[in-house]
Amino acid sequence: MTINDIVIIGAGHVANNLASAFKRIGKKIICIYSRDLNKTVKLAKMLDASYTNQLNEIPPKADLYLLAVTDKAIKEVAEELRFVSGIVAHTSGSVNISVFEKTNSDFGVFYPLMHFSSENVVDFSEIPLCIEANNELCQKALNELANAISRQVHIVSSSDRKILHLSAIFASNFTNLNYIIAEEILKKHGLSFNMLRPIIIETANKILKEKPSKLQTGPAIREDNEVIDEHIQLLNDFPQYQKIYELLTEIIIQKKKSNEL
């Protein structure tokens, strides 16, 4: 079975990006559903698709119903889609595949390990896609679709997918929080965040060639207590960031001592 006709449930960043990628490889987006008609119309026009804000109006015979909705909405939408005959799949990092067990017969997961924070459509070729399915035929179909848009397709169980998602929180979400904290500290002293952009890009690019555990630098790994104490002083106005500084510094020192770095 090859997936050709696709219904997209949702009109946010993930829906937008995946639908556009499918369209580019010649798949047909036959319908887009979202409660937000404004967003839906825009996306439907771009993809030459029909649209609706009523789940019961969705075409019942597509090859794939892709749920790019919030985690909490997945179960509810799946229940409303009892009447459809194609594969039903969600795009979430943390929702177990079993969410579809009671309502659908062919189902799976199509999780892109990426944050889509803008409506700019990105190139999927190097974005890891994590595929899971409840039967072999369904897995084959999702796998084939995934391989058509990305070179990084992985069959990943629900439990491993949760671990990937959790690790991405550290590597991406908490990293962005670090950028926010840095910006806030600079702003308080009238300094520009622009000055940090080169070191941020370099820090990320380095892990393309080397393990991060080989790349740690800074006062903590040197156990430079004079600098560490001064930084903790400088953070007096930011007690929470002081706590983070102390906790992370402690972890780096421990790791250095146990030869992990």
Near a copy of itself by CB under 8 A: residue from 56, 117, 236, 258: 117
Cross-strand bridge partners of residue 87: 64
Q: Does 201 bind a copy of itself (CB under 8 A)?
A: yes
Give the N- to C-terminal CA distance of the chain in Å, as an integer: 49
Pair 24, 150: CB distance under 8 Å: no
Q: Does 73 bind a copy of itself (CB under 8 A)?
A: no
Near a copy of itself by CB under 8 A: residue from 26, 38, 83, 198: 198
Complex with a copy of itself: residue 86 or 92, whichever CB lies closer: 92
Near a copy of itself by CB under 8 A: residue from 98, 101, 215, 223: 215
Q: Does 220 bind a copy of itself (CB under 8 A)?
A: yes
Near a copy of itself by CB under 8 A: residue from 25, 37, 155, 180: 180
Complex with a copy of itself: residue 105 or 225, whichever CB lies closer: 225
Q: Which of 77, 75, 83 is nearest to 101 (CA)?
A: 75
Q: Does 170 bind a copy of itself (CB under 8 A)?
A: yes
Q: Does 83 bind a copy of itself (CB under 8 A)?
A: no
Angle at 248 between CA 242 and CA 250, to 5 degrees: 100
Query: What is the C-alpha to C-alpha distance for residues 254 and 261, in angstroms, rounded to an integer?
Result: 9
Phi first, then psi: give them for residue 58, nearest 5 degrees.
-65, 140
Q: Does 246 bind a copy of itself (CB under 8 A)?
A: no
Near a copy of itself by CB under 8 A: residue from 202, 237, 239, 258: 202
Q: Supply the minimum distance, in Å, between the C-beta of residue 248 and a copy of itself.
A: 5
Segment near a copy of itself (CB under 8 A); pick from 59-67, 73-81, 132-140, 191-199: 191-199
**Number of shown-chain residues binding a copy of itself (CB under 8 A):** 85
Complex with a copy of itself: residue 2 or 172, whichever CB lies closer: 172
Q: Supply the minimum distance, in Å, between the C-beta of residue 202 and a copy of itself.
A: 6
Q: Does 237 bind a copy of itself (CB under 8 A)?
A: no
Complex with a copy of itself: residue 140 or 165, whichever CB lies closer: 165
Segment near a copy of itself (CB under 8 A); pick from 3-11, 81-89, 137-145, 224-232: 224-232
Q: Does 200 bind a copy of itself (CB under 8 A)?
A: yes
Q: Supply the minimum distance, in Å, between the C-beta of residue 229 and a copy of itself.
A: 11
DSSP string, 211-239: -GGG---STTTTT-HHHHHHHHHHTTT-H
Pair 81, 88: CB distance under 8 Å: yes
